[in-house]
Chain A
Amino acid sequence: MSDPIYKTEELIAEDINAYLDLHQHKSMLRFITCGSVDDGKSTLIGRLLYDSKMIFEDQLESLEYDSKKVGTQGQEIDFALLVDGLAAEREQGITIDVAYRFFATEKRKYIVADTPGHEQYTRNMVTGASTADLAVILIDARKGILTQTRRHSYLAHLIGIKNIVLAVNKMDLIDYNQSQYDQIVSDYAEFAQQIGITGFTPIPLSGLKGDNIASKSDAMPWYDGVSLIDHLDDLQISSDSNQSEDFRMAVQWVNRPNLDFRGFSGQITKGTIAPGDPVRILPSGKTTIVDKIVTMDGDLENAYKGQSVTLTLKDEVDCSRGDVIVAADNPPEVADQFETTIVWMAEDAMLPGRAYQMKIGTQLVSATVQSPKYQINVNSHEQMAAKTLELNNIGVCEISTDKRITFEAYSDNRAMGGFILIDRITNATVAAGMIHFALRRSQNVHWQAIDINREAHAALKNQKPRTLWFTGLSGSGKSTIANLVEKKLHALGKHTYLLDGDNVRHGLNKDLGFTDTDRVENIRRIAEVANLMTDAGLIVLTAFISPFRAERQMARNLLQDGEFIEIHVNTPLKVAEQRDVKGLYKKARSGELKNFTGIDSPYEAPENAEITVDTTTMSAEEAADAIVKHILG
């Protein structure tokens, strides 16, 4: 423990104030270690904690005890036991994903993201890497570059980590042989170049023996680089603020203690700001000037990347959570269609066409993902055709959002280009994504300017076009009531069209089956057709179970305000099951029919339907009359 790197004990004992001053000015570095237990990852992390005195005596006692009992190093201390504890966790059935460990040197505090395990590796590594400034890729010197080395490197690169350390571990087991080490480094350089890694720092080391960890090892005089800790301590990292970058801050919370104060709180993701600086609020584009930077410690003269602050503005402009305050010049783009890379993280596969919640910065919008353009094999980096993405798959997909969002390419700004997708039903985080660029398509494919427009169609028919969207359980009476409504409208001289489930599946949607993906696509096409027919001036009636709010919302979003009339045919499951006109419930109960809505597949009742009809208290005729009255009245 006489290593100069950690030699703070004397200072602590002699002059604690000087030590505190030193510690207070430390910076922070977050890194991820990639490799399996076989590569000596746990041993390396354990060694870092041990050498930096992050282990206390009681922990050390149990470490020594465990080392002798279950360790792999004979009577020596097994550092891996410090961080592993995996066996116990496995017994308890706990998923080990990302563990965070802490240690400090004289110069920096470190947070290490440790991602053990192979099964969920992609998901866990992407999670751990998302907050890392640097990645340590571990290689067993005896084995050289393996498939997993390529996978780790690819993922680190994908998530945008620019600082990569190639830690060639277990040098003691190859007798500190320089030529073997050189070969590994040159192999890696060739591979790194192929996948676009522009630079990396190779270090030969031994976690077990401590070679080139805290200080340079005598065992490898041929190595002219620095030790791992020296490299980490002295590295310039991108989380440091760069004055020349343009200011960006997503508004998290509007601070309004009284009528005289209105501040906008957020964490600065890029650039610097000072009172008097002109800023722009996106997406509205309004400009104003920063008045003050308010903190509890007093107003600041300037603030920069990484700080959480509250800004007041000179003018009373509209600004709320989800808006982004940016430098007035050179603002980021605002768009609603993007090309992205998606990492799928849920057990249930992605459903192209399904609307997910998308959180990007402080913006929360509805987003639809298209089928992947291609999927990427993380081991070979080949592009493969794919219809969907499953757990731990990575693919390039186009997505569209229901509102325009403020963003920057992930490669330029992680905070404004990285997003998560959230399932609307389970609320689980199902994917992580990175925006490449906005698609020009939406801007360039303009609607053909047609002289006879929506209004003209409607005027000639002398009616207000609508889509009457009937939703409810199987057997609730949707088709019966929709049919009656159409007859009544027809009798009144209205131009109508009823889209019937079975009929549509015979033609337009005959290529679709009954998987979740196909069900979503089925509803998407129906919604598009309904939209075109409404545009043509018709009153469209659709009668589908359409069990998910997400898809009904998507249909609603396609139409103009007021055109979409959601009609909830509210029949309790018990009643619908008693009726069982088509005998489907019986089949579902016996297990003959899978994924039947209401039995083993959920029905999400509308929360704010325009019309709700209760078929237990009114007849189909009465219901139809009420609907006709509602839309014509």
Chain B
Amino acid sequence: MTQLTHLQRLEAESIHILREVAAEAEKPVMLYSVGKDSAVMLHLAKKAFYPSPPPFPLMHVDTTWKFKAMYALREKAAKDAGMELIVHQNPEAKEKGINPFDHGSVHTDMWKTEGLKQALDLHGFDAAFGGARRDEEKSRAKERVFSFRGENHRWDPKSQRPELWNLYNSRKSKNESIRVFPISNWTELDIWQYIHLENIEIVPLYMSEKRPTVMRDGMLLMVDDERFPLKDGEEPEMKSIRFRTLGCYPLTGAVESEATTLPEIIQEMLLTTTSERQGRAIDHDQAASMEKKKQEGYF
């Protein structure tokens, strides 16, 4: 008897999903956010199709407000994988100068939700891989691996298909598309463990370093560039911080930490007691649940 470890089983399952989509979809794309989950998903894609490069492009739906370090890794990761990199920035949001400081949830709506729909329509992608996991949040626990979107990318909870065994039904009508989540069954710990084990390159912001910070509304924010408007009396303070999750820098809270290696990060993660998404402002915003955002087309 030979037994696969849980990470080997997860890896094999994810690769199976990636290949099914590559074989059955007409024009797939991999959404890439430059975060750790995206890094794992991209790594799995490289493995699934080796020695070929993954047979689809990478696409970053950009908000122009990501950390500088993320932009740097984005270019490198695509090049290393031998994949085309598509960057989409919502022209309307750009024109209106939408930003997280002045526009609150409109920022996410326009840059991310609208931007994603635009980019998918523009290129005619019929299947888009995303790095969401079921353990991230209660409402995601029941999300399918293949999530169907109707016209205008709306998610209709009633028309989702049962998923049996490892048989995925990818058939769809003309105006429909699929979001596919190959790492649905991975937990945060699995992701970190796998990054460690496979030596996957991630944005250095996940590791602690002295960085300029400001405390605002209970969140520890990093002053990543000169666009950060300081309020009266605010003075950036150098602190040893790292990020558990990465998004737009003004919306992503850091944690004070001394962890500079992956094992130390994992150690900290296991011993801390705050769940991952708490660092993201989006969830606290008004009463907007993930469920509602999903129905509107947010990933």
- A residues touching B (Cβ–Cβ < 8 Å)? 8-9, 12-13, 16-17, 19-20, 23-28, 56-60, 85, 89, 92-102, 104, 108-109, 111, 114, 123-124, 126-127, 130-131, 236, 239-243, 252-253, 255-257, 261, 263, 265-267, 272, 294-297, 304-308, 310, 321, 345, 357, 359-362, 414-415, 418-420, 422, 427-429, 432
Contacts and interface: CB of A to CB of B under 8 A. Distances in A.
A265 B19 contact: yes
B162 A127 contact: yes
B291 A92 contact: yes
List the 9 shortest-distance A-B pairs measured between CB atoms, nearest first.
A57-B273, A28-B6, A56-B275, A308-B15, A109-B6, A296-B50, A257-B52, A99-B141, A16-B267
Contacts of B184: 100
B244 to A, nearest CB: 11
B52 A256 contact: yes
Contacts of A130: 164-165
Contacts, number: 198
Interface string B99-131: 000000000000000000000000000000000
A557 B162 CA distance: 30
A253 B19 contact: yes
B12 A429 contact: no
B23 A362 contact: yes
A44 to B, nearest CB: 16
A111 B135 CA distance: 10
A99 B23 contact: no
B205 to A, nearest CB: 21
A127 B161 CA distance: 10
Nearest to B159: A428
Given A111-B185, A308-B16, A102 B2 contact: no
Contacts of A256: 52
B47 A296 contact: yes
A252 B274 contact: no
Interface stretch (B63-71, B89-97, B168-176, B223-231): B168-176
B51 A27 contact: no
A420 B170 CA distance: 12
Contacts of A240: 1-3
A429 B197 contact: no
Interface in B1-51: 1-13, 15-16, 19-20, 22-23, 46-51
Interface string B176-196: 100000001101011001001
Nearest to A251: B23
Interface residues on B, range: 35 or more
Among A56, A127, A239, chain B packs the most CB atoms within 10 A around the CB of: A56
A296 B22 CA distance: 18
A102 B50 CA distance: 30
Contact of A26 (B6, B12, B22, B291): B6
B291 A27 contact: no
B278 interface: yes
A98 B4 CA distance: 25
Given A100-B134, A243-B2, A252-B20, A295 B165 contact: no
B270 A415 contact: no
B277 to A, nearest CB: 9
A308 B19 contact: yes
Tell me the dominant secondary structure on chain A's binding face.
mixed
B158 interface: yes
Nearest to B190: A109
Contacts of A89: 139, 291
Interface in B225-263: 263
Contacts of A414: 165
Nearest to B187: A102
Given A123-B162, A307-B4, A93 B157 contact: yes
B14 to A, nearest CB: 8
Interface of B: 1-13, 15-16, 19-20, 22-23, 46-53, 134-135, 138-139, 141-142, 157-167, 169, 171-173, 176, 184-185, 187, 189-190, 193, 196-197, 263-264, 266-267, 270-275, 278, 291
Nearest to B264: A16
B162 A432 contact: yes
A432 B273 CA distance: 41
A461 to B, nearest CB: 43
A415 B271 contact: no
B164 A418 contact: yes
B165 A131 contact: yes
Contacts of A17: 263
A270 B47 CA distance: 21
Given A23-B193, A27-B6, A96-B142, A295 B50 contact: yes
Contacts of A114: 141
A394 B78 CA distance: 48
Nearest to A115: B142
Given A9-B270, A28-B9, 14 more contacts: A19-B267, A57-B274, A57-B275, A93-B158, A95-B160, A100-B185, A127-B163, A241-B3, A253-B22, A261-B51, A267-B15, A306-B4, A308-B15, A429-B161
Contacts of A19: 267, 270
B5 to A, nearest CB: 6
A267 B166 contact: yes
A255 B167 contact: no
A100 B19 contact: no
A85 B7 CA distance: 29
8 contacts: A16-B267, A95-B157, A127-B162, A236-B1, A240-B1, A256-B52, A261-B51, A360-B167
Contacts of A241: 1-4
A542 to B, nearest CB: 29
Contacts of B196: 20
A114 B12 CA distance: 23
A296 B271 contact: no
A111 B278 CA distance: 24
A104 B291 CA distance: 27
A111 B145 CA distance: 15
B299 to A, nearest CB: 18
Given A58-B275, A256-B52, A427 B6 contact: no
A253 B23 contact: yes
A57 B291 CA distance: 23
Given A257-B52, A427-B172, A306 B271 contact: no
Contacts of B275: 56-59
Given A17-B263, A308-B19, A429 B162 contact: yes
Contacts of B190: 109
Contacts of A59: 275
A56 B5 contact: no
Contacts of A308: 11-13, 15-16, 19, 48
Contacts of A92: 291
B64 to A, nearest CB: 30
A23 B10 CA distance: 14
Given A20-B193, A130-B164, A427 B16 contact: no
B156 to A, nearest CB: 10
A98 B184 CA distance: 13
A418 B166 CA distance: 10
B158 A95 contact: yes
B162 A304 contact: no
Contacts of A304: 2
A422 B169 contact: yes
A307 B16 contact: no
A540 B183 CA distance: 55
A304 B263 CA distance: 30
Among B16, B51, B189, chain A packs the most CB atoms within 10 A around the CB of: B51
Nearest to B46: A296
A109 B159 CA distance: 31
A78 to B, nearest CB: 15
Contact of B142 (A100, A239, A257, A297): A100
